[in-house]
Structure 1
């Protein structure tokens, strides 16, 4: 039985956190090998398909379901480097391993007494889901990690992520209040060696049961099963259909002032990007690493007359991700107006810069 902790939401006038930007997917129903498919996608769109979350996956399924074909290339490939990921796609900014962990080659993670242990994903444990509407959910059913992940995605949002020490302490208390046996519970942390063709750090995976099942098979395809789950196959010369994606955010690697960047985006795309939610911040974090400057312009502007920050799209600045000491209402407007940028390295927080600085920038295509 699942037990829920309700987390009330603070509603702020004029602010919305419902913004959801998806990639646009293009199903190409002609046979090409994986290298040819990748080249085609990069020339015509952005790259072979990357998937960030179930919303993206549902859009991808819609794009391929009329094709009626069995195997379809996407942009996921096996590498030699193992990395830790959150099932939800959250960036891994915090780890809390118990002493001596992670040990061995196990790829999934449990929490026990507030600390983390890596275990075989085939073990069965209780687990914690996260629901975007109601918060944390303790599920006292024994499942392996993959089945727990599927349960959370079908009934809530995903397995829980832990982004900092405060969240870890809250989760520990939540578990202790509901888990009288003191047993280990699954959280959403896992590791694998798969990487997207566009170098996205998306950790979303949608494998069929029993997949991936062969270390020699280093390319991923969508299967013909009703759920359109993924399988690993050889990156050989087989010629099959494929899916490209077109990003709705794009980093422009030109060094322009903020006003020049705004003009470029409005002439060639839609606008400089606005970041009105944590979900959008994650999408910005995915693309900003492609920049060649230490910071990248956003559509964020300071009004000296009103003493406020605002988005050029006309939205109020509700969600905020400022670096310490930045984003104050009392900006120094001399000798020039200040505009907002996101750091391309580190924690990718926002900083205030003179609008005359020359930086890369992010345009939106939606």
Structure 2
């Protein structure tokens, strides 16, 4: 016996959005790098989510995530605009070792001086001697440390990492440096946080305490779903779920799917159909889709009903053909 049923399955609310129609967020559970998440959102929605206010934070936290409470990418990332001194002065004098050194590079953020007085851009985590300046004299720190720790060390000595405004000051440092040694100065690439969608305002910030702290690599921002605070993470080093932004009117849909289900179980039994719906709903949830399924059985047509349907199609084709000839 062919125990089968034609079923009409109504799927409502693909990627159920937040309540805002103009700035809806959609949670995508598949873990990707920030770059891949950005491409996905641009292709399927509008962009990665922009969090521009506390209201946006609340909206994001209210977006269904199927119980996920960890980090998820949003559309914020860092850019590097120009060389800047710690005291805020612009770069007017420089003594680069070669022409390549002065070019902005997201992985070479801090500047050191060698014993010949030539400057080189290095990854800030490298260990070099701090060169401190108290407004009168330069001092070389007792041991090598990273640029950030060098800055902290100089501050603890009531000084700052060296500001080198001209050739004369450059030569003073040159004569202080031990042979073959290299020391950090207070020049670094200014880090600017920007949104992936042009025009986003960065006046609102929601960093977790101690963040951002990932200065030595290209950084992108993830939000903690449980409290909305921000972390910076390596854009290509970590794969995370993410939030897209889009128009809720275009994403909150009802889709009707007709299928023929074969089973040895009694498909007329409400308990059986409820179990099948639950299994399908779980499968959707595993794909990051928060949907509501409605199961409706469609009776199989008798032979007479199928014959009448065929006759109706023939009459419809004849009507269209006759109408076309009469035009």
Measured against the shorter chain, the TM-score band is 0.3 to 0.5
TM-score by length of 1: 0.34
TM-score by length of 2: 0.37
Q: Which has the higher contact order (CA 8 A, sep 6+)?
A: 2
Q: Give the number of the structure whose residues are more often helix, by fraction.
A: 2
Between Structure 1 and Structure 2, whose CA radius of gyration is higher? 2
